[in-house]
Amino acid sequence: MIPTPPVLWDIESDPTLAGTKLIAEAWDAAGLYQVGSFTGDSWREWNGRFRDDVRSFLRGEDGSIERFADRLIGSPSLYGHKQRGPEESVNFVTCHDGFTLNDLVSYDRKHNETNGEDNRDGADDNRSWNCGVEGATDDPAVEKLRTRQVKNFFAVTMLSTGMPMMLMGDEVRRTQRGNNNAYCQDNETSWFDWTLLAKRADVHRFVTSLNACRMLRDVEDEQQRVALNQLIRQADITWHGVKLHEPDWRHSSHSVAFTSRFSRKRVLFHIILNAYWEPLEFELPLVASGARNPWRRWIDTFLDSPHDIVDWEEAPAFPGPTNPTEARSMVILFAGLDPDSP
């Protein structure tokens, strides 16, 4: 077990690989774990802490709020030093190994019996939650909750500072029926089911819209709008709880909110994350009377498609002074700043 193997520098400095994106799964079977300290200047790292802490928070686990907030803002506990930075963090919730995103919200435990190893293979620490029923169900309330949780995971991943990574098929809730180690399943368990594009069109639309919000590249767009990944990295952040300026960092907390201010673009965002199992009423910052418009709702994962995420110009007005945020949901509001404000 060598913490700084020379081969990593050899790969990075090889002129043949110049310009190649280098991404590391910065841990190994022998116990070495180098997330936040991987060797080299050009490598990006799968942030396994992001995966674990976002899963813990969104399933409503006690003691997860501070770690979750750290992941949102680029994991400074891991990358807040001169050797690494938040741009090195590859933020993900699911990957080729483990539960799919659908199965993460559909199973409390792995179901690997068909792998022929008596269900002993595959990870046991999945930090999953089945939303009340183990496996597939026709219960509309459970299905609605699962879809909402899937959208929450996607929204948090795309919002957080760092490089987002998605698992193919999660955008249409692909399932492996609870198998979290399907390496040996060259069949329908691991294949992509193209009928899901129609069956899960609401999730696919939500993810497509999130991508469009993050990947604004047109000059006119950049002058008029704010890309999703800028809401934390390039703004002034103020933390809140259900009451303004009173974030709840207690062990029992399951919610947080923050205001993101872009003075240059004259726009204010308010982001609410409620992982609690009951609705909560969040106070909203006052918007000056001279503002261009009142608060507008951009994203609300509790709402059904197409109201869960809307085009910037079509965002409905939301006057405040509070936002009743439903259980296990995420809301993003925005408002124009007073032209005379600093």
- Average the pLDDT over 96-104 and give the result: 97
Q: What is the pLDDT of residue 215?
A: 58
Confidence category of residue 183, pLDDT binned at 50, 70, 90? very high
What's residue 39's pLDDT?
73
Q: What is the spatial distance between Cα 4 and Cα 9, in angstroms, rounded to a whole number?
A: 9
CB 78 within 8 A of CB 89: yes
pLDDT grade, residue 227 (50/70/90)? Answer: low
Among 276, 336, 335, 331, which Cα is nearest to 159's?
331
Percent of the chain clearing pLDDT 90 (strictly above): 66
DSSP 315: P
Which helix or strand (DSSP H or E) is residue 193 part of? none
Short-list 334, 325, 332, CA closest to 274 = 325
Dihedral sign of CA atoms 194, 183, 42, 214 in order: positive
The predicted structure's pLDDT at residue 222: 44
94-117: string of b/e by CB count within 10 Å (b at 16+)? bbeebbbbbbbbbbeebbbeebee
Chain segment 26-80, per-residue pLDDT in tens: 777 666 777 877 777 778 899 999 999 999 999 999 999 999 999 999 999 988 8
For residues 109-116, average pLDDT: 97
Please give the Cα distance from 100 to 61 (Å, whole number): 20
